[in-house]
Amino acid sequence: MDKATLRERIWDDLEASGEARFPFPPHDRIPNFAGASEAADRLAETDEWKRAETIKANPDAPQLPVRRAALRAGKALYVAVPRLRDERCFRRLDPDEVDDVDASTTVGGIDEYGTPVGPDEMERIDLIVSGSVAVSEGGSRVGKGEGYSDLEFAVLREFGLVDDDTTTATTVHERQVVDDVPAPDDHDVPMALVVTPERGVRTGAAGKPSGIDWAKLGERVAEMPVLERLRSE
């Protein structure tokens, strides 16, 4: 099964089972799911979460409880600008400066409350939380198909902010954990923790992309100032 077929199967299943949550439909996005808050709570119980002082999380709906939990636990939170379209392509939310955690962690609130920063202004990341469409117990992840989550990791690695030891995690519905995830590509970032409302799995996945695969990006480089900058250095 290829990734596109698997995505459609998962999206259809979440919708047909009634486990998808707003925004609808779940298709063509990181799907929100029933129990997202419980999955975030379970993640917050892990040693990896408790040790982390800085967290990078995706801006999608199912990870909203994760973003809120990070700020409430006093952790610095970084969220990438969609498609890395800005020169300062991340937003930093400081738990000591945010006075409305609920508002600041929504998609719109991240821009309103977050401080624009470039990778050269960021702290080292202790934990990355990614959204997924599907994931295996071995840590192979399938996103919505645009590749930005993996590219964000590669950019951060170029700046020395993440490495092979950086913990990567995803929160998903149990129905998104499947056995037939296709073999990962070289640029795919494996998940060390897979957390559902019912359980947490330490996958044992090892090895992460060493940096940006310029050949695969092609003309997309021109759309992302941070990549233009890196290519010219």
Position of tokens 């170029």? 158
Residue 186 vs residues 176, 211, 231: alpha-carbon distances, Å: 22, 10, 20
Please give the pLDDT value at position 48.
98
What confidence tier does 155 reach under pLDDT thresholds 50, 70, 90? very high
Environment class of 119 (CB within 10 Å of its CB; exposed 0-12, middle 13-18, buried 19+): buried
Whether the bond between 23 and the residue before it is cis, its omega within 30 degrees of 0, is yes
Rounded Cα–Cα distance for residues 197 and 67 (Å): 16
Q: Rounded to the nearest 10 degrees, what angle do helices 225-232 and 148-158 cross at?
A: 40
> Is a pLDDT exceeding 90 seen at residue 225?
yes
> Is a pLDDT exceeding 90 seen at residue 72?
yes
- Residues 29-53: tens digit of each pLDDT: 999 999 999 999 999 999 999 999 9
> What mean pLDDT is predicted for residues 120-127?
97
> Is a pLDDT exceeding 80 seen at residue 233?
no
Domains of the chain: 35-232 (3.40.50.10420)
Please give the pLDDT value at position 119.
96
Please give the pLDDT value at position 213.
83
Closest CA to 32 of 132, 124, 137, 115: 132
Q: Rounded to the nearest 10 degrees, what angle do helices 64-72 and 36-44 cross at?
A: 40
Residue 175 per-residue DSSP state: G
The answer to whether the predicted template modeling score (pTM) of the entire model surpasses 0.85 is yes
